[in-house]
Structure formats: C-alpha cells, structure tokens
Structure 1
C-alpha cells in the first residue's frame, strides 16, 4: 500500500545547478582535459619532491633483486622454501663480511691509513717534475683548485641531503630489499591492483621481464667485481706492490660503477706503483690494462648478451646526472635504472604493435 504524502511536509524543491555543475558539454569536456593535465603536473611535482625517497625504494628493489637471484640459484640445489633460501643468502653474506673484517680488516685498515700519504707524496713529486721541465705550476694554485673541486664534490656527493643520513639510508635499503625478496609477488600484485583491469597483465609481464633483466645484470656485476678484485690483488701481490689487498678491494668495489670506477681505481693503482719505482709503476699499468681488457672483452659482452645492451655514452650521461642530483647512491643506481627504463620502453613499443627501432634501422641502411 503506497504511503500518502504528508500535507505538512514541504514539496521537494526542483534540482538546481550548483557552482561546480557545467551544463555545456564542450566546456565540461575541456574542463576534464584540463584537470587531467593539472593532475599530471601535480604528480610530476610530487615525484620531484619525493625523488630522494623514491631512489631509496629503488635501491631496495635492486638489493632485493640481488637476494632474489641468489635464492633462485639455491633453488636448483636446495629444495626448501623461499624464505629459507633467502635466509641462507643473507647469512652467507653476513658471514663473508665478518670474515673479511676479521682476517683482512686489520691489513686493509693499515694499508688504508698509508694510502693518503702515498698519494700526497706522489702529488709533490709530480709537481716538482713539472716545474723542472719548465711548467710554472705553483703549489698554492693547485691547492686552491683542489679545494674548489673538493668543495664541489662535497656538495655533489651529499647523499640524500639531510633526509636520513648515510647509515640510515643504507639500513632502509637493506630492510626494503629483504621485504621485496621475501614476497615479490605480493608487491607486484599490489601495484597491479591499482591499475586498470586491461593494463594489469601487461604490467605484470613487464615487471617479470624487468626482474629477470635486473637479476642478470647484477649477477654479471658481481662476477665482474669478483674477477677484477681477485685478479688485481693476485697480480699486485705477486710482484710485491704495496697495499695489494686494499687496491684489489677498491678495484672490485669500483667495478660496480661502469665507465667511472675503472679510471679511478686504475689511477690509484698506478700512483702507488710509481711511489716505489718506475718499473713497478709500469707493471701496475700492465695489470690495469689486463684487468680491464678481461672486463671489456669477456665480462661486459657476456653481460650485454644476457641482459640489456646499454650504450656506454647513455650510461655515462645517466651516471653524471644521477651523481649530481643524488650523490654516490644515484651514481651506483644509474645503470640499473637506465636498464629498467629501456626494458619498459621496449615493452610499451611491443604492446603498441610496432618497433620504432626497425624504422630507424631501415633509414640508416638506406
């Protein structure tokens, strides 16, 4: 039975347009487009403001991919759950660091204390050699240039300036990496859930390709670091070069930075060699050439075939930009970031049904 209207209740007022209602369909369409552009600009500004934090998260992703690669390798010989394999990788890494600190720490610390004095003495010797050969180079001028350069480097390498500090940033990267490595599918599905339904499968496929490429890239880097560091230490120790263990460690660590790490480690090695004698200096140059010939003609091509082949100039440009913006952390993560962007662009080109590289190659060969 229908209820009768209450005579005391006022009749519903007719619906009127509010201040945010737009009746003209053309204006409403253009307003929506404007809101989309404003939203994109706001997201870009937010990404710039949060870029340091986003870089820490990406560092956690890179570290998680490194742990995930080790866990996947253990799966071939160790039939246990994923959590146990991740724990084995972490325990093995901690044990290696403790072993390095216990058995080689004192020797490396002693050599590290001697290294600045050796470099400074070679600096004065080189300056005196230039003056004897008619080059009017003053110590005061060189020191002022060095101080300005070091001041600029100090500004450039301020890692995540004032956000957390170096140790806290490293701790966050380690914790995030462990979480990502424990349950990568959970985070992949969580991000895919926020996308439109028709984009989720493509996103998950792209993330899987990125993960495989990142794992192989990092695995190749670890191999390169190990080979270069051990070979440098063995060759220098064989000839009796001072600080062989420290130079091997520096060479191995800087091998993670392609294009930039090799010249730095090589320059330090050569300076230490010439501090003893010219013969030893020439020998260190030979060691440097051998190490990086092996790296350039064996390790790097192997990594490029198995992962993402990145042009060296592109990697160097990314390292310079990321180093200026984010310091040492940005410098270390520039190469993996460029590789992931390249994979994403290739996947998007394939999804759109064409390969823009084919048209460019045809034009170049024409």
Structure 2
C-alpha cells in the first residue's frame, strides 16, 4: 500500500497522547509540577495555616475544659463551654489589668538590669582572657545580643498584627469548639467512603492527644509561674511578680522558654547580690525539676511521649521558618504528626495481617 504522507518509520511526537511513553512522561511532569506548586503554596500560605492550627489547639483547650467541667456540673455542653470560655477571658483580662497596674514599670527596670549584668559578664570574660582586651568582641557580642533583643521586641511590638492574629485564633477556636463534629464531617466528606472510619478514629486520637498535651502545658505554666513568683518573693529577688508572669508565659514553649526565663531569673538575682543570685538558681532548678520530672512525664504517659531533642529541633526549625507562631505551635504539630504516623502504621499492619490470613 502506498504511503503518500511518508509517515512510515516515524516515532510519535510529544503531542501524540496515545503513545504510552508520552503519557508516562506527562504523568511524571504533572507530579513534579504539582509538588513544586504545593511547596510554593505552602510557603505563601504558611501563616494562615498556622493560624488555623492555633485555632484548633485553642479549641482543644476549650473542649478539654468543657469535658472536665462536665464531671462536676451535669448541664448541657453549650453551657459548660460558655462557662469555660468566659472564665478564660476573665483570667486574661485580670492578668492584663494586674500586670498593667502593678508591674508595667518593672519592664524598663528589667531591661536595665539585664543590660547591666550582660556588660558585667563581658568585662569578666575580658579579664579572664576569653575575649580580646580591645573591646571589639565585647561590642560585637553586645550588638548581636541587642539585635536579637530588638528582633524579639519588634516581633512582640507589632501590636496590630499580634492582636489580629490572636483574634483569628480565638474566633476559629471558639467556632470549632462549639460544633467540632460539623468540621470533622466536612473533612471526612472529601475522603473516600472506605477511608472515613479510619479518619474518624485518627481524628479522635488527635483530639485526645491535644487535650492532654494542652492540659499538661497549662498545668506546667501555672506551676512554674506561681512557684517562681512565690519562691523568688521569699528569697527577696527583685521583680518577683514580673519574673513569675514571664516564666509562666514562656513555659508554653518547652525547652526554649525555660532557657530564656532561667537566664532572666539568674541575671536579676545576681543584680541584688551573690546570695540572691544563688537563690534564683536554686528556685529555677527546683521549679524546672518539678515540671520536668513530675508534670511532663505524667502527661506524656497519657498522651504522646515526645523526645526533648525532637521537640527542640522542631522548635528551631519552625521558629526559623515561621517565626514566634511556628515556635509556639511546634509541639502540638509534632504531636499530631506522630499520632497520624502511628495510626497509619497500625492500619497498614492490620491490612497486611488480613491479607496474610486471606
């Protein structure tokens, strides 16, 4: 038969989708393009996603308080949730008023004490030969410390952005806590029917883990804040109330928060004398021991046992990528990811066992 077009012996071109090779290459290209697009979208949408995660964490706190209150008050869940929400907001308002009325002036004193103590430490290092005598290293270290302090102050000082982000987290958390099953069913609706039972089981386990994790975190914050304030006040350490509040707030950040609060505590303690500084070290060690060896293990046994090095690494990574919000939410995110991986491994093991039995 004649071949007027002269197409015999020619290979299919890239526009010929019927060729298996072209189809396979197009699928590979689509996968790589999709992955690149997902990474870019994740980068640009990281902040809103963290706000959503923060709302879910806050919803877990409200839900945990509502369940705990249900053991005491036999009333409807809506009323218990309202009581817990109002109590939480009342505590926040009281803390803000108390801090503003009694210890707001101590922040400037704290800054001056920390700066003076750092200068003394640098001069001691110079006398010991640790840094050069010309003062260049002292100035460089001082600039770095002040730069870090400035970045932290800038992050905290953006009041409008911080307030709007906090408001979004609170609103999302309240809405999710009011009707959690509604949003859970909405996510399950996007999954195949065969995967929904597994999703509900994993979601329930994640919720329980978050509730226990946040309960332990709040308990640790209360113990560290109140204990630090009381013992520092007994030992005559200046600004005991302010250090107690800062220690309690920083306790929400495991590892890193304890280090920052400990440095502040020791610097302020030694500013009042050697014995006072030793007492501040003893208080810090005692409070951290109680939290680390009593509260944290008790919560970890009932929720998720997270290795300290894993949490610290996640905090450094999330803090570098997403700022203070990523640093604060690193622990809950790692806990949820661990639960997800554990449930996935259990499901695969069950499927393998069923296949082997069949």
TM normalised by structure 1 equals 0.83
Match of 2:47 among 52, 67, 70: 52
Paired with 1:172 and 1:326, the residues of 2 have a C-alpha distance of: 17
SS in 2 for 1:352: helix
Residue ranges of structure 1 left out of the alignment (5+ in a row): 1-18, 356-366
CA contact (8 A) 1:158 1:327 kept: no
Q: Which moved more, 1:184-193 or 1:21-30?
A: 21-30
Q: Quick check: 2:228–2:283 contact (8 Å CA) kept in 1?
A: yes
Are 2:213 and 1:217 equivalent residues in the alignment?
yes
CA contact (8 A) 1:228 1:295 kept: yes
Q: Are 2:192 and 1:196 equivalent residues in the alignment? A: yes
Distance in 2 between residues matched to 1:62 and 1:157, nearest whole Å = 25
* Residue 108 of structure 2 corresponds to residue 124 of structure 1: no
Matched, 1:258 2:254: yes
What SS does structure 2 have at the residue aligned with 1:179? helix
Moved more, 263-272 or 25-34: 25-34
Q: Aligned in 2, Cα 1:305/1:101: closer, same or farther, shift over 3 Å?
A: same
Match of 1:73 in 2: 68
What's the TM-score once normalised by structure 2's chain length? 0.85
Residue matched to 1:245? 241
Which residue does 1:85 correspond to in 2?
80
Q: How many residues align?
A: 335
1:156–1:326 Cα contact (<8 Å) kept: no
Paired position in structure 1 for 2:315: 319
- For residues 97 and 125 of structure 2, what CA distance do their matches in structure 1 show? 43
| SS of match in other structure, 2:238 | coil
- Structure 1 pair 137–252 and aligned structure 2 pair: CA distance change class (3 A): farther
What is the CA-CA distance between 1:43 and the residue it aligns to?
A: 3.0
Is the contact between residue 46 and residue 322 of structure 2 (CA under 8 Å) also seen in structure 1? no
Secondary structure at 1:78 match in 2: coil
Structure 1: how far apart are the matches of 2:110 and 2:285? Answer: 22
| TM-fit CA distance, 1:79 | 2.7
Q: Please, which of 138, 144, 152 is the counterpart of residue 142 of structure 1?
A: 138
SS at match of 1:202: helix
Task: Please tell me whether residue 285 in structure 1 is matched to residue 247 in structure 2.
Answer: no
Question: Any residues of structure 2 matched to 1:136-175 within 5 Å, and which?
Answer: 136-139=132-135, 141-148=137-144, 150-151=146-147, 165-175=161-171
Query: In 1, distance between residues paired with 2:121 and 2:309?
Result: 31
In 1, Cα distance between the equivalents of 2:134 and 2:104? 33
Contact 1:157 1:324 in 2 (8 A): no
The aligned residue for residue 234 of structure 1 is 230
Structure 2 counterpart of 1:276: 272
Aligned partner of 1:15 in structure 2 is none
Contact map agreement 2:314 2:334 (CA 8 A) in 1:
yes
SS at match of 1:353: helix
Once the two structures are superposed, residues 80-139 of structure 1 have per-residue CA deviations (whole angstroms, 9 ceiling, x without a partner) of 332222221111012112222334532221222210111122223333333444553555
Question: Distance in 2 between the 1:319 and 1:59 partners?
Answer: 15
More off after superposition, 67-76 vs 81-90? 81-90
User: How many angstroms apart in 1 are the aligned matches of 2:268 and 2:176?
Assistant: 42
Calculate the aligned-residue CA RMSD, in Å: 2.7
Checking the alignment, whether the CA contact within 8 Å between 2:306 and 2:335 is kept in structure 1 is yes
Cα distance in 1 between the residues matched to 2:136 and 2:20: 73
CA deviation vs aligned residue, 1:244-299 (integer Å, no higher than 9, x gap): 10111111111111111111111111111110110111111111111111112111
* Contact 2:251/2:257 (<8 A) preserved: yes
Q: Give the distance between the partners of 1:92 and 1:326, measured in 2 at CA.
A: 31
User: What is the rounded CA distance, in whole Å, between the counterparts of 2:20 and 2:302 in structure 1?
Assistant: 53
Cα distance in 2 for residues equivalent to 1:42 and 1:129: 53
- Rounded to whole Å, the distance in 2 between the matches of 1:89 and 1:200 is 31
